[in-house]
Amino acid sequence: MLRAEHCLLRMASKRIGASNQLLLESLPMRKFSAALIVLAASAVAGTASAASISVPNVPAQPVYQTVADTQMMVTHTYANLRDKPSTSGKLLGKLNKGTKVDVLGKAAGGKWLHVKADTKEGYVAANLLK
């Protein structure tokens, strides 16, 4: 136990009693600090009790999903290449029917594809490509 945690435990035990001190000493170290925070807050309020708080590890959600090296072709008369995966995104160019693009990833739940056509890179509505 770290010295600072030991001092906090002694201070908290004076407020909460020996039975809760034993509970605190049996907590794993990563839950110990969270329990001390709860105890310190409740001791100030006068309602001290031991508690354990677990913080789940939540993986970050990527803005776009990477797709394997895929090449697709414009199947409609034309497809707009935009700077954002939205019809309100700035128009970077028009891709004519039959134009091949390299798919770099998916965006907006798969409704848009991040593509590269020649030297330009942008987003095209997925339903316009096959």
Mean pLDDT per block of 10 residues along the chain (130 residues) reads 54 52 48 53 53 65 60 96 96 97 92 94 96
User: Among 52, 51, 48, which residue's Cα sits nearest to residue 12?
Assistant: 48
Residues 85 and 120 in one domain: yes
Q: In this predicted structure, what is the pLDDT of residue 24?
A: 47
Residue 113, both tokens: 């594809």
Residues 72 and 36 in one domain: no
How far apart are alpha carbons 39 and 32 in whole angstroms? Answer: 10
Q: In this predicted structure, what is the pLDDT of residue 113?
A: 95
CATH of the domain at 73: 2.30.30.40
The total of structural domains in the chain comes to 2
Q: The tokens 């997925």 sit on which residue?
A: 126
Amino acid letter, residue 35: A
Query: pTM of whole model > 0.85?
Result: no
Q: In this predicted structure, what is the pLDDT of residue 23?
A: 47
Residues 105 and 71 in one domain: yes
Q: Which domain holds residue 11?
A: 3-45
DSSP 8-state class, residue 60: P
Count the Cβ atoms, other than its own, within 10 Å of residue 24: 21
Residue 102, both tokens: 């390299």
Residue 79, both tokens: 């497809």
Angle between helix 29-45 and helix 18-25 axes, rounded to 10 deg: 150
